[in-house]
C-alpha cells in the first residue's frame, strides 16, 4: 500500500479537543421523568410535553432497525445523559456580546465566529452546544426580511402556532426507532421560517458541537418555506475525541410550498473514532423534506466524512405536481468507519423529477453502503428519476456496497440507474507522479476529482471547506 494511502488511514481528527466549561447535565437514563425534566427545563407548553410522552410510549415498543449493513455494538439507552448544557455564569445573555467567553473561545477554535462583524460573508449561524443553542447571529437583519431564524426552543416560545402546525408533519413521532427517540427527548435545534415571496437574504447555518461526555445529542430542525420563497441552509458538526461512542439522533424536517426552494447542505465531520475503531459518534439521523406545493424544489447535498457509524437517508416526498427532489452525496469512510447512507425519493405528483448522485469513497477497513429507494406511486404520471452511484476504493481491505430499490406503479414513469465501482488507479497515480506530482497530492487530486460533481452543488463557502476537509483527510494532518 502506498504512503499516501497509509496517511489517509492514519489521519488525525483536527476538532477532537474538549472544552472545559461547566456543564449542567440531567441524570443518566431514559424515562418519563427525564422527558418531563427536559420539557420543564425548556418551559414548554403542555401540548409539547404530551407529544414527547406519546412518542416515548411508542418508542419503548420499538426495536432498533436491523436492516442496515452495519455492525453496531449494543447501545445502552439508560447509560447516557439526555440533557447537557453549558452552565450559565450569570443571567441569560442579552446580546451576542454577553456570550460566555469560554463558549465563544470553543467556537473560535472551530473556526466559527459568533461575532457578526467577523463573518466573511452573509451567513447567519445558530450555534448549538450539546443540548442547547448558545447563540444565533444576524437575527435582527433577517427579521427585517420577515425571516424567522432561531433556536427550536425560542420558536416554541415565540411562534408556537407555526411550530405546532409543522412539527412532525414530515417525520412523524412514530416514523422509526431513532425518530421516535428524538421526538421524546429532542433538546434543541434550529427553526427557519421563510414567508411567501421572500428570498432569504443570507445563507442560514447551524453548527452542532457535542462537548459533554456520555451525552447524546438529539436536535430537531424544522424549515418551512412558504410559497415562492427560497432559502439555502448549511449544517456543520464536530465532537471531541473520546474512547466511548456517543449517540447523535437528529431529525430534520423541510416543508416547501408551491414554487418554493430549499437547498440544504451538510458537512458532517463528527469524530470518527480512532484507527482501531474505538470511540466516535453514532450518527443516526432522519432527514426528510416534503415538496408540498407544485413546482417546489428540495435539494439535499451532503459531505459525510465523520462518525463511527452513519445511518442517514435524506429524502424527499414529491407531492406537488412538477416538484423536484435532489440528493447529492459524498461519503468518505476509513479505519473502521461504517456508513449506510442514501436517499428515498417518493413520487406522488405528476411530472415530478428526482436526481440522485452518490459518491462513496472507502479506505482502511471501512464499509460504505449506498441504499436508495425510488418510489413512483400510481398518481405519479410522467415522473422521472435519474440515479448515479459511484464508489471508489482505496486500498485492499475496504468495502463498497450498493442497494438500489425501485418501485414503480405508474407505467409512464421513467427510472434510470447507473452504478460504478473503481479502485484508485495505479495508472492514474503513476501518470500524476510522472508529471512531478507526489503521491499524496495526486491521491487528493484524484479523490477531489471523483467528488467534483457533488462539490459543484455546494454553496461556495462550503465547497471550499469540503475540499479542504478532503485534503486534510488525505494529508494525514500531522501535528
Partner 1 sequence: MLHIENLRASIDGHQILKGLDLDIGAGEVHAVMGPNGAGKSTLSAVLAGRDGYEVSGTVTFQGEDLLGLTPEERAVAGIFLAFQYPTEIPGVGNMYFLRTSVNAIREARGEETIDARTFLDAVKVKMAELDMDPALLSRAVNAGFSGGEKKRNEILQMAMLEPQLAILDETDSGLDIDALRAVADGIERLRDPQRSMLVITHYPRLLEHVRPDAVHVLRDGRIVRSGGPELAHELEQDGYGPAETVGAGTP
Residues that bind partner 1 (CB under 8 A): 425-428, 430-439, 441, 445-446, 448-453
Contact between 234 and 265 (Cβ < 8 Å): yes
- Nearer to partner 1 by Cβ, of 126 and 390: the residue is 390
- Nearer to partner 1 by Cβ, of 218 and 455: the residue is 455
- Nearer to partner 1 by Cβ, of 144 and 427: the residue is 427
The nearest distance, CB 419 to partner 1, in angstroms, is 15
The nearest distance, CB 353 to partner 1, in angstroms, is 24
Strand partners, 263: 232, 299
SS3 labels along 156-187 = HHHCHHHHHHHCCCCCCCCCCHHHHHHHHHCC
SS3 labels along 143-157 = HHCCCEEEEHHHHHH
The nearest distance, CB 448 to partner 1, in angstroms, is 7
Strand partners, 192: 149, 223
- Nearer to partner 1 by Cβ, of 198 and 357: the residue is 357
Cα 147 from Cα 173, distance rounded (Å): 27
Contact between 443 and 475 (Cβ < 8 Å): no
Name, in order, each residue with C-beta under 8 angstroms of 92's C-beta and a sequence gap of 6 or more.
none
- Nearer to partner 1 by Cβ, of 129 and 469: the residue is 469
The nearest distance, CB 445 to partner 1, in angstroms, is 6
The nearest distance, CB 434 to partner 1, in angstroms, is 5
Q: Is 88 helix (H, G, I), strand (E, B) or coil?
A: coil
End-to-end CA distance of the chain: give it in Å, rounded.
Answer: 23
- Name the residue with cell 449517540: 247
> Cell numbers at residue 24, please?
449542567
> Cell numbers at residue 223, please?
424549515
Q: Distance of CA 151 to CAs 250, 291, 304, 313, 433, Å?
A: 14, 23, 24, 24, 50
- Nearer to partner 1 by Cβ, of 33 and 456: the residue is 456
- Nearer to partner 1 by Cβ, of 193 and 455: the residue is 455
- Name the residue with cell 422527558: 35
The nearest distance, CB 450 to partner 1, in angstroms, is 6
> Cell numbers at residue 239, please?
465532537
The nearest distance, CB 436 to partner 1, in angstroms, is 4
Contact between 82 and 185 (Cβ < 8 Å): yes
Cα 161 from Cα 171, distance rounded (Å): 18
Contact between 354 and 316 (Cβ < 8 Å): yes
- Nearer to partner 1 by Cβ, of 46 and 435: the residue is 435
Cα 181 from Cα 238, distance rounded (Å): 22
- Nearer to partner 1 by Cβ, of 63 and 426: the residue is 426
The nearest distance, CB 440 to partner 1, in angstroms, is 10
The nearest distance, CB 11 to partner 1, in angstroms, is 21
The nearest distance, CB 403 to partner 1, in angstroms, is 24
Q: Which residues of 34-66 are buried (b: 16+ CB within 10 A; e: fewer)?
A: bbebbbebbebeeebbebbbebbebbeeeeeee
- Nearer to partner 1 by Cβ, of 1 and 60: the residue is 1
Closest CA to 259 of 208, 196, 309, 336: 196
Contact between 407 and 378 (Cβ < 8 Å): no
The nearest distance, CB 431 to partner 1, in angstroms, is 4
- Nearer to partner 1 by Cβ, of 432 and 477: the residue is 432
Amino acid at each position: 500500500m502506498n504512503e499516501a494511502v497509509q496517511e489517509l488511514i492514519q489521519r488525525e481528527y483536527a476538532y477532537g479537543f474538549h472544552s472545559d466549561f461547566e456543564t449542567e447535565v440531567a441524570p443518566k437514563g431514559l424515562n418519563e421523568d427525564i422527558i418531563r425534566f427536559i420539557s420543564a427545563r425548556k418551559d414548554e407548553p403542555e401540548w409539547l410535553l404530551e407529544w414527547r410522552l406519546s412518542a416515548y410510549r411508542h418508542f419503548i415498543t420499538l426495536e432498533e432497525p436491523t436492516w442496515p449493513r452495519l455492525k453496531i455494538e449494543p447501545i445502552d439507552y439508560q447509560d447516557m445523559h439526555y440533557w447537557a448544557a453549558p452552565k450559565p455564569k450569570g443571567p441569560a445573555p442579552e446580546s451576542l456580546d454577553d456570550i460566555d467567553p469560554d463558549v465563544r473561545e470553543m467556537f473560535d477554535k472551530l473556526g466559527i465566529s459568533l461575532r457578526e462583524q467577523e463573518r466573511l460573508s452573509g451567513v447567519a449561524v445558530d450555534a448549538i452546544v450539546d443540548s442547547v443553542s448558545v447563540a444565533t447571529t444576524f437575527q435582527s437583519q433577517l427579521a427585517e426580511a420577515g425571516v424567522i431564524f432561531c433556536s427550536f426552543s425560542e420558536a416554541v416560545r415565540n411562534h408556537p402556532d407555526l411550530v405546532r402546525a409543522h412539527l412532525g408533519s414530515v417525520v412523524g413521532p412514530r416514523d422509526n426507532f431513532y425518530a421516535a427517540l428524538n421526538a421524546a427527548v429532542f433538546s434543541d435545534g434550529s427553526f427557519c421560517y421563510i414567508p411567501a415571496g421572500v428570498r432569504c437574504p443570507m445563507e442560514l447555518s447551524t453548527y452542532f458541537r457535542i462537548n459533554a461526555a456520555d451525552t447524546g445529542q438529539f436536535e430537531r430542525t424544522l424549515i418551512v418555506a412558504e410559497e415562492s420563497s427560497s432559502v439555502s441552509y448549511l449544517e456543520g458538526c464536530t465532537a471531541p475525541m473520546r474512547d466511548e461512542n456517543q449517540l447523535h439522533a437528529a431529525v430534520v424536517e423541510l416543508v416547501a410550498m408551491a414554487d418554493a426552494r430549499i437547498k440544504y447542505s451538510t458537512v458532517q465531520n463528527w469524530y470518527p473514532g480512532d484507527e482501531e475503531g474505538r470511540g466516535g459518534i453514532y450518527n443516526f439521523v432522519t432527514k426528510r423534506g416534503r415538496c408540498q406545493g407544485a413546482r417546489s424544489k428540495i435539494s439535499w447535498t451532503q459531505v459525510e466524512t465523520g462518525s463511527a457509524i452513519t445511518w442517514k437517508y435524506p429524502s424527499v416526498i414529491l407531492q406537488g405536481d412538477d416538484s423536484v427532489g435532489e440528493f447529492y452525496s459524498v461519503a468518505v469512510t476509513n479505519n473502521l468507519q461504517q456508513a449506510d447512507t442514501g436517499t428515498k425519493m417518493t413520487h406522488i405528483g405528476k411530472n415530478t423529477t428526482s436526481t440522485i448522485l452518490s459518491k462513496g469513497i472507502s479506505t482502511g477497513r471501512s464499509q460504505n453502503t449506498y441504499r436508495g429507494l425510488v418510489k413512483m406511486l400510481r398518481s405519479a404520471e410522467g415522473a422521472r428519476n435519474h440515479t448515479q452511484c459511484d464508489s471508489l476504493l482505496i486500498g485492499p481491505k475496504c468495502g463498497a456496497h450498493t442497494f438500489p430499490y425501485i418501485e414503480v406503479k405508474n407505467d409512464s414513469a421513467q427510472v434510470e440507474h447507473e452504478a460504478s465501482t473503481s479502485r484508485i488507479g495505479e495508472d492514474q497515480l503513476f501518470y500524476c507522479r510522472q508529471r512531478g506530482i507526489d503521491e499524496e497530492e495526486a491521491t487528493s487530486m484524484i479523490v477531489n476529482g471523483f467528488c467534483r460533481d457533488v462539490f459543484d452543488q455546494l454553496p461556495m463557502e462550503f465547497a471550499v471547506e469540503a475540499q479542504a476537509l478532503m485534503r486534510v483527510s488525505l494529508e494525514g494532518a500531522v501535528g
